[in-house]
Amino acid sequence: MRNKIDLRKLPPLNALRGFEAATRRQSVREAAEELCLTHPAVSYQIQVLEQNLGVELFSRTGRSLTPTAEGKLLYSYVREALGLLIDGAESVRRTRAGSPLRVQTYITASIRWLAHKLPDFVAAHPDINLLLTTIAYDWAFDESIADVGLVYCDKQPAPEYHWVPLFDYRLHAVCSPALAAKLGANPTPAALLELPLVAIYSEAHHWDLWCESAQIEYTAKPAIVVDTLAVALEIALAGRGVALVNGPFDTEELASGELVEPVDHECSCPGSWGVICRRESLENPRVSAFMNWLVQAATPPQRGTTS
């Protein structure tokens, strides 16, 4: 039989839990507390596993517990196997009826773009509940909290992920019309440095990149440093500073005239905004439906059509 598994070669599966916890904690007592077992019960699990494999997995000196070479080798396999089982179980749990589709993005992307569009998805898919999670500091897609992510990647993700780029990562400056008027007609990029600049502390280098691409020297410090682009845009809308935008988060304000681009210059950066999930998650109809919808939502309408 193809792909047959010889279950007789499996070690005692229940004992692997005690072994993994004891190795990670380097303590039988702490492993027992974690697993809600007694100290003798975990010790017995380790003993059974050692007898089954015919090797010692730990060297014991007093209360000190140190994995042997064989123990370290086994731990790498056990850790990976248990992790895969947990991932598989979580994937199955997420398919159960009533569980929400978990979507991850950043604060600005949520407030200024995705949140305005999600009601359209819910209207088109009333059987799918959504849970939107926003993060402030970690840029990476976190599959432990989300099934799908609207994130920025500076390079192609690992092969186990399905990734669809949506928006190029281009920096352009915006401010209020009143603030832009202070620059006069046809200002150069260098003239922009005369206005108060707003930076995001995790992206403070963006002004350096923008000025370098414009071939101008940038030695001044930003007047204000904030934690999210959403805050920077509020300052720009209030007419109190110039913000650098790196995504489709000012489209409506530029169209309405609330914000303007005071100079004709933008800077392209590596990577792009996009939608991401694990490849096997595409087999989940809810995930594939959301991925396809998000790609369509990010596609600009053709001329002569309405969004």
Interatomic CA distance for residues 161 and 125, integer angstroms? 24
Tokens 């056990």, residue? 78
Within a domain: residue 280?
yes
Backbone torsions φ then ψ of 239, nearest 5 degrees: 80, 25
The token pair at 109 is 């992307």
* DSSP code for 301: P
**Secondary structure of 158-204 in the HEC alphabet?**
CCCEEEEEEEEEEEEEEECHHHHHCCCCCCCHHHHHHCCEEEEHHHC
Interatomic CA distance for residues 19 and 33, integer angstroms? 13
244, pLDDT greater than 70: yes
Instruction: Name the β-bridge partners of 197.
Output: 242
280, pLDDT greater than 90: no
Q: Are residues 111 and 64 in the same domain?
A: no
Within a domain: residue 256?
yes
Q: Are residues 89 and 201 in the same domain?
A: no
Within a domain: residue 2?
no
- The candidate with the shortest Cα–Cα distance to 143, out of 294, 304, 287, is 287
Q: What is the residue-averaged pLDDT of the chain?
A: 88
CATH number reported for the structural domain that contains residue 293 in this entry: 3.40.190.290
Between helix 28-35 and helix 39-53 the angle, nearest 10°, is 110
The token pair at 247 is 């995504």
Q: Which of 9-13, 219-223, 244-248 has the lowest mean pLDDT?
A: 219-223
CATH number reported for the structural domain that contains residue 38 in this entry: 1.10.10.10
Cβ atoms within 10 A of the Cβ of 282, count?
Answer: 12
Listing from the earlier edge strand, what are the strands of the sheet with 130-135?
130-135, 101-106, 148-153, 266-278, 161-174, 243-245
Q: Are residues 276 and 256 in the same domain?
A: yes
Q: Are residues 178 and 231 in the same domain?
A: yes
Interatomic CA distance for residues 274 and 150, integer angstroms? 6
pTM of the entire predicted model: 0.66
The token pair at 202 is 């995790």
Cβ-contact 200, 226 below 8 angstroms: yes
| pLDDT, mean of residues 9-32 | 90
| pLDDT, mean of residues 161-170 | 92
Within a domain: residue 250?
yes
126, pLDDT greater than 60: yes
Please count the CA atoms within 13 angstroms of the CA of 289 that sit on its side-chain side: 16
Domains contained in the chain, number: 2
Within a domain: residue 179?
yes
Q: Of the candidates 78, 94, 110, which is a domain's last residue? A: 94
Q: Of the candidates 94, 113, 132, which is a domain's last residue? A: 94
- Tally of residues, the chain: 307
Q: Are residues 13 and 134 in the same domain?
A: no
For position 229, what pLDDT does the model report? 92
Cβ-contact 86, 116 below 8 angstroms: no
Q: Are residues 81 and 117 in the same domain?
A: no
Within a domain: residue 307?
no
Q: Are residues 124 and 264 in the same domain?
A: yes
For position 307, what pLDDT does the model report? 43
For position 213, what pLDDT does the model report? 94
Does 259 or 304 have the greater pLDDT score?
259
Q: Are residues 150 and 90 in the same domain?
A: no
Q: Are residues 172 and 248 in the same domain?
A: yes
Cβ-contact 260, 177 below 8 angstroms: yes
Within a domain: residue 305?
no
Q: Are residues 140 and 269 in the same domain?
A: yes
Q: Of the candidates 52, 73, 94, which is a domain's last residue? A: 94
Cβ-contact 179, 284 below 8 angstroms: no
pLDDT band at 302 (very low <50, low <70, confident <90, very high): low
* DSSP code for 224: E
46, pLDDT greater than 60: yes
For position 136, what pLDDT does the model report? 57
Within a domain: residue 50?
yes
Q: Are residues 158 and 75 in the same domain?
A: no
| pLDDT, mean of residues 60-71 | 83
Q: Where in the sequence is the domain holding 27, given as residue range(s)?
A: 7-94
| pLDDT, mean of residues 63-72 | 87
Please count the CA atoms within 13 angstroms of the CA of 181 that sit on its side-chain side: 4
- Within 8 A by CB and 6+ apart from 277, the residues are 147, 148, 149, 161, 162, 287, 291
Q: Which of 171-185, 212-226, 270-284 has the lowest mean pLDDT?
A: 212-226
Q: Are residues 189 and 118 in the same domain?
A: yes
1, pLDDT greater than 60: no
